[in-house]
Amino acid sequence: MADMVMTAGVRKKLQALVGSPIAWDCPLREYTSFHIGGPAAALITVQDLEELQSLLQFFIADHIKWHIIGRGTNLLVSDAGFDGVILLLGKEFTTFSRISAGENGGHIVQAGAGCSLTRLVNWSLEQRLSGLEFLTGIPGSIGGAVVMNAGAWGRDLSDVLVAVTFITSAGQVCTVPRAQLAFGYRIWHDLHDYELSIAAAGAEKVVINVSLQLQEADPAQMRTLCQAYRDKRQMTQPKGGPNAGSFFKNPPGDAAGRLIEASGLKGLTIGGAMVSVAHANFLVNIGGATAADVLELMETVQLRVREDSGILLEPEVHFL
C-alpha cells in the first residue's frame, strides 16, 4: 500500500523539504503504547514551524495523506498501517516558558505541543506553579492532551487552558482563546466560532502550542498531591502489558470498568488482546496482539455490556 503513493519522485521531493532523515515504511507499533500497528509510508519528525508549513503545502499540492500523532498513548493503528505521512513534533515544539504574571499569584505559561505531560508537570513543580498535578502519570504529549481533553480525578486540560495555537492543513496559524473553543469529556469539539475561520473548521489541524493558567503554590503540597495520584494509579492500573489507558469512555453516571467487570469479562482474551484483570477498562496486549484482535475484543465487550446493561460503550481510544 505504501508504495502506491510514495514513488521515488515523491520521496525525493519530500526528503528535500525536511532537515531530518525520513523513516520510510516505518512500523508504527514502535510509536504507540499498545505496540500495535502496521507501517506508515513515511514518518517525519518535524523540526520547526517553517518545515511544517512547507510539508502541509506539499501534501495539498501532491494529494498526500498525512496525520499527526503525539506519543501514541491513545491510539490504535490498523495492522495495514497508514498509506501516507505520519508527522511527529520535534524538539522545537517541546519548550515551555512563563509568559506573564497576573493578579493573585496567577501565571500564564506557554508549552510546546510536542512536550510530554510528565516533563510539563515536573517543570511546573520546579516553577512552584500549581494546576497540572492531575496530569501526573498520563503518558501523552500536550498536543494529544488538548485533542483528547485529557484528564483525571475530576479535572481536565480545558480547566487550565487559556488558548490553543494550531496550524490548519492549509497552513493557516490560528491562536484561539479558550472561550471560543468547546471541550467535552475526552473530546475537543470542532471550532464553533464561525467567524474565526472557515478553513479551520473541520479540517485536520496540528496543535503547536498551548497557553495555560497556573497558580503559585507551596511545592511541598503539590508534590504530595502528585504522589497521591501516582499511588492511586499504581493501585488500580495494570502493571504489565502494553495498553492505551482507559479504552472506553465512562458513560454518564457510571464507569466503563464497572460495567465490563459486572458482565464477567475480566480476563477475556482474543488472540493477543485481553481485558485486564487489574482494571476491566484496560485492554492489554499480552503479546503479539494485532489491531484486529483488539477490535474484535472491543466489539465483544460492547456487545456483552449492551446485552447486560443496555449501555453501548463508546471507545475513548482513537483509530488510525
Catalytic residue annotation: 186, 246, 316
Biggest alpha carbon distance in the chain?
59
Q: How far is the CB of 315 from ligand FAD (least distance, A)?
A: 12
Q: How far is the CB of 16 from ligand FAD (least distance, A)?
A: 24
Q: Per rule CB under 6 A, is residue 41 in the interface with ligand FAD?
A: no
How many residues contact ligand FAD, by CB under 6 A?
32
Please give the residues from 263 up to 302 whose contact with ligand FAD meets the rule CB under 6 A.
Answer: none
* Cα separation, 110 vs 98, whole angstroms: 6
Q: How far is the CB of 7 from ligand FAD (least distance, A)?
A: 26
Work out which of 37, 38, 72, 81 binds ligand FAD, going by CB under 6 A.
72
Please give the residues from 87 up to 116 whose contact with ligand FAD meets the rule CB under 6 A.
Answer: 89, 113
Work out which of 73, 130, 211, 250 binds ligand FAD, going by CB under 6 A.
73
Q: Which stretch binds ligand FAD (CB under 6 A): 189-197, 209-217, 241-249, 252-260?
A: 241-249
The CA-CA-CA angle for residues 12, 71, 148, to 5°, reads 115
Q: Per rule CB under 6 A, is residue 33 in the interface with ligand FAD?
A: yes
The DSSP annotation for 226-252 comes to HHHHHHHHHHHS-SSS---S--BPPPT
**Measured from the CB atom, is 31 or 58 closer to ligand FAD?**
31
Q: Which stretch binds ligand FAD (CB under 6 A): 44-52, 70-78, 101-109, 289-297?
A: 70-78
**Measured from the CB atom, is 118 or 309 closer to ligand FAD?**
118
Ramachandran class of 186: left when φ > 0, alpha when ψ lies in -120 to 50, beta otherwise: left
**Measured from the CB atom, is 29 or 186 closer to ligand FAD?**
186
Q: Per rule CB under 6 A, is residue 45 in the interface with ligand FAD?
A: no
Residue with cell 486540560: 157
Sheet strands (E) in the chain: 23-27, 39-46, 66-68, 75-76, 82-89, 96-101, 106-112, 129-130, 151-152, 155-156, 161-168, 173-177, 183-184, 187-188, 205-216, 269-270, 273-275, 283-285, 318-319
Q: Which stretch binds ligand FAD (CB under 6 A): 135-143, 177-185, 294-302, 306-314?
A: 135-143
Residues 208, 231: contact at Cβ < 8 Å?
Answer: no
* Cα separation, 285 vs 70, whole angstroms: 20
Binding string, residues 144-183; x marks residues near ligand FAD by CB under 6 A: xx-xx-xxx-------------------------------
Residue 39 DSSP class: E
Q: Per rule CB under 6 A, is residue 75 in the interface with ligand FAD?
A: yes
Residue 317: partners with Cβ closer than 8 Å, 6 or more residues away:
74, 75, 76, 244, 245, 247
The CA-CA-CA angle for residues 312, 313, 317, to 5°, reads 145
Residues that bind ligand FAD (CB under 6 A): 33, 67-75, 89, 113, 138-141, 143-145, 147-148, 150-152, 186, 205-207, 243-245, 318
